[in-house]
Amino acid sequence: MGETGSLPVLSTAERVPEGYGQWPDKVRVTEIFFSIQGESSAMGMPCAMVRLTGCNLRCSWCDTEYSFKGGQFMTSANILEALQKYPTRRVELTGGEPLLQKGTPQLAQALLDAGYTVLIETSGERDISVLPTGVRRIMDLKAPGSGESHRNRWENLEHLTTTDELKFVLKDRADFDWMVQTVEKHQLEAKVPLLVSPVYQVLHPSLLAEWLLASGLDARLNIQMHKTIWGEEPGR
């Protein structure tokens, strides 16, 4: 993940390109590619990735700014066709923020119906209950270091189950302490598998590993395997 420097402050409306949500049978797609799942419980597994365009947040450490604009509209049928060339039945919807688009639940259902294991990565700012049963929801809670923790939709915690995953991307010790307090306050350890990731090239994984072990928290340390393999190359 790269530091973004100073991004312009935009309203939510300005951050969502015109036309979003007007065609529920279509979504705007930045890229579709085949890679190694770099995070979550599927880390290390082959996975087709469908990156949807646009995000209404601006995390300080965002590594996918190239997905904020552009893209092309695709139907579920177009996407299923594009996925056929990849030898996998695992697919992840990511972004940007996939839940900004009204067509995403419909797309997720089409992928489930086609026999895919469907993962989705979401910032946690949108309502995750719109997704069909069977989708593995990998939801962020934004720590203060992201600059977007005020956007966390806390009601989403009620929807998470043991078949989902809750991810914290941490920049420093203050973020880590915030995470521990948040997990305790909402009793999250028993509710949903926890993932913890260091911001790439900002917080060293060995430091986070030491904090995690000392805390006794039962969380999975992620180190973004795809970046270990390919660096920050888009489409990987």
What is the contact surface with ligand SF4 in residues (CB under 6 A)? 55, 57-59, 62, 64, 95-97, 123
CB of 58 vs ligand SF4, minimal distance in Å: 5
Rank residues 123 and 182 by Cβ distance to ligand SF4 and give the closer one: 123
Give residue 164's region: left, alpha or beta (phi > 0; psi -120 to 50).
Answer: beta
Quick one: 89 or 102, whose CB is closer to ligand SF4? 102
Question: Residue 143 CB, nearest distance to ligand SF4 (Å)?
Answer: 11
Q: 3-state DSSP helix/strand/coil percent for the chain, to nearest 5?
A: 30, 20, 45
Report the residue number, 38 or 110, with the smaller CB distance to ligand SF4: 38
CA-wise closest residue to 205 among 213, 216, 194, 215: 213
What would the two tokens of residue 125 be?
């700012």
Pick between residue 59 and residue 83 the one whose CB is nearest to ligand SF4. Answer: 59
Query: Pairing mode, if any, of strands 72-75 and 26-36?
Result: antiparallel
Distance CA 223, CA 170 (A): 11
| Integer angstrom CA distances of residue 49 from 61, 82, 132, 139, 165 | 21, 11, 19, 16, 18
Least distance to ligand SF4, CB of residue 100, Å:
9
Contact 119, 138 (CB under 8 A): yes
Nearer to ligand SF4 by C-beta: 58 or 110?
Answer: 58
Could you tell me the smallest distance in angstroms from the CB atom of residue 215 to ligand SF4? 24
Q: Which is nearer to ligand SF4, 11 or 187 (CB)?
A: 11
For ligand SF4, give the closer residue by CB, 172 or 189. 172
Least gap, CB of 97 to ligand SF4 (angstroms)? 5
User: Terminal CA-to-CA distance of the chain, rounded, Å?
Assistant: 13
Query: For 61, what's the count of Cα atoms within 13 Å in the CB-facing half-sphere?
Result: 19
Minimum distance from residue 21 beta carbon to ligand SF4 (Å): 17
Nearest to 55 by CA among 135, 123, 152, 151: 123
Please report the DSSP string for 73-86 in residue order. EEEHHHHHHHHTTS
| Shortest distance in whole angstroms from residue 204 CB to ligand SF4 | 20
